[in-house]
Amino acid sequence: MEERTTEERTTDTDRVQLQSTRLAQRYQRAWFQDLRRRVFEEGVPYALTSATTPHEILDVFEIPYVTNEWWSSLVAAKRASGYYLDRLEERGFHDGLPHYGAMALAALLDKDNPNAPWGGLPRPALLCARLVDQGTERLWSLMAEACGAPFVPIEVPGSTVLYPRWWEVARRNWEDVFETHRIDRVVGCFRELVAECERITGRRFDEERLRALLERVQEQEECFDEVRRLICEAPKLPVRLPEQLTNVMTAQWHRGSDWALEHARRFRDEVWERVEAGVAAFPDERVRLGWVGVGLWQNTDFYRAFEESHGAVFVRSMYLSIASDGYLRYGLRDPLRALAGRYASFNETLHVAPWLPEWTVADCRRHRCHGAVIVNLGSAVKFTQRALEVAGIPTLVLDADAIDTRGWDEARMREVMAEFLERRLGA
Amino acid sequence: MSAAAELQRHYRDRTAAARAASARGRKVVGLVGSTVPTELVLASDAYPLTVAAAPGGPTPNADRYLERHIEDDVRATLEALLAGAYAWLDLLVLSRAWDSHLELYYTLKEIVRLGESECIPPLHLYDLLHGQTPANRTYGLERVRELRSRLAALTGVTATDQRLRAAIRAVNGQRAALRRLAEVRRDPAAGISGKEALTVIGAGRFLEPAVHEQLLLAYLAEERPRLEARRRLLVVPGTPLSDLRLHTLLEEAGAVVVAEDDSWGSRSVGADVPEDAADPLEAVFDAYFLHVPSPRVAPAAARDEWLRSEIERGGIDAVVFFIPRSDHWFGWDYPRLRSLVEAAGLPALLLRDLEREAVVDALTAGVRGR
């Protein structure tokens, strides 16, 4: 652990409590500025990708990448999403289209904006996304057209077998759980990505390098698995949800790198120290909540808004839990296949019943959640709400947009949450 | 009964002919989506029935399971399935040409797992991937062979090359009649409204192809009064036109729909399957893989090409885009398609709601815009 300054030790009740969080924030900002410099000044090709694509392949070729979801969360956190969504509407794209993935398209089309967050998105040399729905191909093709770069889609066949408790077996028996014919097709797509990377860099694919990288990724995710255990077992929440998100996701966007592995260890150690020292993020914690669905990036302060008033803390989100349950895939004899074993069902585990509801119930129980809040986006929300209620976990479905600040009514949302906490959880 | 009345009856009572076949001991296979090859079902000695309940009614049972982005037609279909309207089917094949159909498949599987309905027939996912790449074609061919095996296990009859060729001839015959209808309906003297065209085309989803072909030919031979002069519309919908609501509203507002970019309408014709193909199963697969419109399989360029060619044929006064409020994909295509229409010098009208007032407003705006 790095030594903290006196000033930092005395600010534990402040917005940022962990030294790891500050380091992650600083690292990400510096990384993006460095990326922009390399792209603009040195002409280094970079890739724009979706979150559930095999970034490890790009790492093997040393092609830097920006994740679309990260860019969207950054735009939302800077409260610039409304501006970008207005620009898309001016071009005829209606307001009901998914916002989460659209920020990059808006940024690429709005290339002359001098006030873009962090200087705006540079033009990528390659785009890669998993086709999670029928709009994804259209959206990414528009982005490819806007920047004149090739688009490599990752196709994933539909699941025909859905083991309810997938997370108990998927770490090692991923071939059985996620179906051989599906993994075969995903491997085929990965090979197409490899071929495109070889074309861009002029280098041959190094399988050994991928295996070594995946071993580091496994170690990183094992750190996060340990962090989850610590959070679940600690008497009180040691690290607030916004700080969980910052630390986990910053490392995930760079997973397998020296910095990411070092950061995952640092974060794990700092959480462990806090637990050992009996430090609680909010000492008067009385109600533990699980957050289900996409992070509320446009307003992460919402996660701590009910501490003083109701003693309520958000302890759980999918981001930390999927780091271990979704990413850990042992058996690296064929590293490309193991990677496909991870990505073949990423979307399904987070959006399809019974995978999402069963996992969410088990994970909320493990976190000792008294209640859960589902952000009303995506699929299987009704199945998940019902499963949580049946499991004795009162659940609120919050009708909110994770990205778009324009429709957010803070007073109304606080009222809805307060009513839920008081009526359903007795807070 | 006239052929028109007979076709309308089957459009309304969508399972009548299939239920009669089932009562005679024939296996009936339900199909969700337009990309499951009818020829393969016929060649397996089963009756192909499109499972698509007409939307517009209340769906309280389906609403318990489906999220709000799911289209009305899929919601109505789940409601009908839960009500037992299709419990007698021997197999239900869901294609993945639309996301909603895959979600319906997952939802039905979960309902079965939870033991919440005894009315769901055995399920089969006919999984087609996004785009017409060689790798996706190879994957799709594996799925069509898998489906052939499943159907053979169900009926005891394997779709041999010989049986497939007979089925190909039957469906090509139906396509020829549909092609004739598509041509004739553009002539006001034929007296065919868009609503009636959609009805007689749609009836084919519920009839055997040879029966549909005969009824269509008889229908085209029947006398109808000439349609009075009206604004002639081409409709580009963001959701399948499995019911008549949109056409009814547009035509009650004084227009006539002469073509629609949808497999329930003008694009039901598709491409003929070569009757002398060396591998008829591959030929059948390719006809659907390459030529049936859908958001997942067909590329956006194919839609552009069809729209451009329809406009070039002439006889169209405006193009109506229908984007339902639940839309989460068609909106990415809309600005490009709108530009294509405007470049051709035609008004592009946008409808978001199936309401009389909205339709009148859109048509009026189109008149002003000319």
Determine whether the interchain pair B296/A381 forms a contact, defined as Cβ–Cβ distance below 8 Å: no
Determine whether the interchain pair B105/A139 forms a contact, defined as Cβ–Cβ distance below 8 Å: no
Residue-wise over A262-296: b if at least 16 C-beta within 10 A, else e? ebbbbbbbbbbebbeeebbbbeebbbbbbbbbbbb
Q: Is the confidence at residue A422, as pLDDT, over 90? A: yes
Structure-token pair, residue B365: 């705006």
Tell me the per-residue pLDDT of A353-395, one tens digit each, with 9 for 90 and over.
Answer: 999 999 999 999 999 999 999 987 678 999 999 999 999 999 9
Domain boundaries, chain B: 6-159
Residue-wise over A37-68: b if at least 16 C-beta within 10 A, else e? eebeeeeebbbbbbbbbbbbbbbbbebbbbbb
Which pLDDT does position A113 carry in this prediction?
81
How far is B70 from chain A, CA to nearest CA, in Å? 9
Which residue has 């729209």 as its token pair?
Answer: B307
- Asked if residues A83 and A101 have their Cβ atoms less than 8 Å apart, the reply is no
Q: Is B364 on the interface with A (CB under 8 A)?
A: no
- Report strand pairing: B348-351 vs B318-322: parallel
User: Cβ contacts (< 8 Å) between B110 and chain A: which residues?
Assistant: 162, 353-354, 383
Chain B residue with the nearest C-alpha to that of A91: B335
Which pLDDT does position A377 carry in this prediction?
65
- Asked if residues A320 and A222 have their Cβ atoms less than 8 Å apart, the reply is no
Q: How many domains does chain A have?
A: 1
- pLDDT bin (cut points 50, 70, 90) of residue A38 is confident
Partner-chain residue, chosen from A91, A97, A134, that has the shortest CB–CB distance to B99: A134
Q: Which helix (H) or strand (E) holds A278?
A: none
Which pLDDT does position A369 carry in this prediction?
98
Q: What is the spatial order of strands in the sheet that A287-292 belongs to?
A: A312-316, A287-292, A371-375, A395-398
User: Cβ contacts (< 8 Å) between A162 and chain B: which residues?
Assistant: 106, 109-110, 113
Which residue has 């991928």 as its token pair?
Answer: A210
Which pLDDT does position B319 carry in this prediction?
97
Structure-token pair, residue B281: 């199963």
Q: Quick one: what percent of chain B has pLDDT higher than 70?
A: 99
Tell me the per-residue pLDDT of A147-160, one tens digit each, with 9 for 90 and over.
Answer: 999 999 999 999 99
Closest to B280 (Cα-Cα) out of B127, B172, B120, B135:
B172
Q: Is the confidence at residue A425, as pLDDT, over 80? A: yes
Amino acid at A72: S
A interface residues, B as partner, C-beta within 8 Å:
91-94, 96-98, 131, 133-135, 137-139, 141-142, 153, 155, 157-160, 162, 164, 181, 185, 188-189, 192, 352-354, 378-383
Average pLDDT of the residues in A179-207: 96
Strand-pairing partners, residue B92, are: B30, B123
What is the DSSP-derived secondary structure letter of residue B335?
Answer: H
Contacts of B224 (CB under 8 A, 6+ apart): B190, B191, B192
Which pLDDT does position A10 carry in this prediction?
37
Structure-token pair, residue A62: 């040393």
Partner-chain residue, chosen from A155, A192, A383, that has the shortest CB–CB distance to B130: A155
**Does residue A354 have a cis peptide bond before it, meaning omega lies within 30 degrees of 0?**
yes
- Asked if residues A223 and A265 have their Cβ atoms less than 8 Å apart, the reply is yes
For chain B, how big is the Rg over CA atoms in Å?
Answer: 20
The whole-angstrom separation of Cα B167 and Cα B284 is 10
- Whether residue A99 lies inside any domain: the answer is yes
- Whether residue A2 lies inside any domain: the answer is no
Task: Map A66-95 to HEC letters.
Answer: EEHHHHHHHHHHCCCHHHHHHHHHHCCCCC
Q: Number of Cβ pairs closer than 8 Å across A and B? A: 95
> For chain B, first and last CA: distance in Å?
44
The whole-angstrom separation of Cα B192 and Cα B213 is 17
Q: Quick one: what percent of chain A has pLDDT higher than 90?
A: 76
Closest to A403 (Cα-Cα) out of A73, A31, A60, A25:
A73
Partner-chain residue, chosen from B131, B326, B335, that has the shortest CB–CB distance to A93: B335
- Whether residue A336 lies inside any domain: the answer is yes
> For chain A, first and last CA: distance in Å?
37
The whole-angstrom separation of Cα B111 and Cα A291 is 25
Tell me the per-residue pLDDT of B147-189, one tens digit each, with 9 for 90 and over.
Answer: 999 999 999 999 999 999 999 999 999 999 999 999 999 999 9
Determine whether the interchain pair B332/A92 forms a contact, defined as Cβ–Cβ distance below 8 Å: no
What's the pTM value of the predicted model, to 2 decimals?
A: 0.94
Structure-token pair, residue B144: 């069509």
Strand-pairing partners, residue B197, are: none
Determine whether the interchain pair B130/A131 forms a contact, defined as Cβ–Cβ distance below 8 Å: yes
Query: What range does the domain containing A149 cover?
Result: 13-423
Average pLDDT score, chain A: 92
Strand-pairing partners, residue B124, are: B93
Question: A366, exposed or middle or buried, with CB in 10 Å at 0-12, 13-18, 19+?
Answer: middle
- pLDDT bin (cut points 50, 70, 90) of residue A14 is low
Partner-chain residue, chosen from A98, A141, A379, that has the shortest CB–CB distance to B103: A379
- Asked if residues A159 and A83 have their Cβ atoms less than 8 Å apart, the reply is no
Strand-pairing partners, residue A153, are: A129
Q: Is B135 on the interface with A (CB under 8 A)?
A: yes
- Whether residue A1 lies inside any domain: the answer is no
- pLDDT bin (cut points 50, 70, 90) of residue A7 is very low
Which residue has 């409304």 as its token pair?
Answer: A82
Number of Cβ within a 10 Å radius of residue A187 = 17
- pLDDT bin (cut points 50, 70, 90) of residue B368 is low
CA–CA distances in Å: residue A61 to residues A68, A187, A194, B27, B121 = 20, 17, 9, 55, 49
- pLDDT bin (cut points 50, 70, 90) of residue A4 is very low
What is the DSSP-derived secondary structure letter of residue B37?
Answer: -
Q: Which residue has the higher pLDDT, A98 or B169?
A: B169
> What's CA B260's distance to the chain center, in Å?
11
How far is B99 from chain A, CA to nearest CA, in Å? 6
CA–CA distances in Å: residue B221 to residues B3, B184, B192, B195, B247 = 9, 11, 12, 18, 23
Fold assignment, B6-159: Rossmann fold (3.40.50)
Partner-chain residue, chosen from A142, A188, A383, that has the shortest CB–CB distance to B332: A142
User: Cβ contacts (< 8 Å) between A158 and chain B: which residues?
Assistant: 96, 102, 105, 125, 127
Which pLDDT does position A5 carry in this prediction?
37
The whole-angstrom separation of Cα A133 and Cα A351 is 11
User: Cβ contacts (< 8 Å) between A159 and chain B: which residues?
Assistant: 106
Q: Which residue has the higher pLDDT, B108 or A70?
A: B108
- Asked if residues A271 and A230 have their Cβ atoms less than 8 Å apart, the reply is yes
CA–CA distances in Å: residue B183 to residues A259, B21, B266 = 66, 32, 10
Tell me the per-residue pLDDT of B58-92, one tens digit each, with 9 for 90 and over.
Answer: 999 999 999 988 989 999 999 999 999 999 999 99
- pLDDT bin (cut points 50, 70, 90) of residue A1 is very low
The whole-angstrom separation of Cα B240 and Cα B246 is 11
Which pLDDT does position A328 carry in this prediction?
95
Q: Is B122 on the interface with A (CB under 8 A)?
A: no
Determine whether the interchain pair B329/A93 forms a contact, defined as Cβ–Cβ distance below 8 Å: no
Average pLDDT of the residues in B328-339: 95
Q: Is the confidence at residue A8, as pLDDT, over 50? A: no
3-state secondary structure of A188: helix
- Asked if residues A164 and A358 have their Cβ atoms less than 8 Å apart, the reply is yes
Q: Is the confidence at residue A2, as pLDDT, over 60? A: no
User: Cβ contacts (< 8 Å) between B127 and chain A: which residues?
Assistant: 157-158, 160
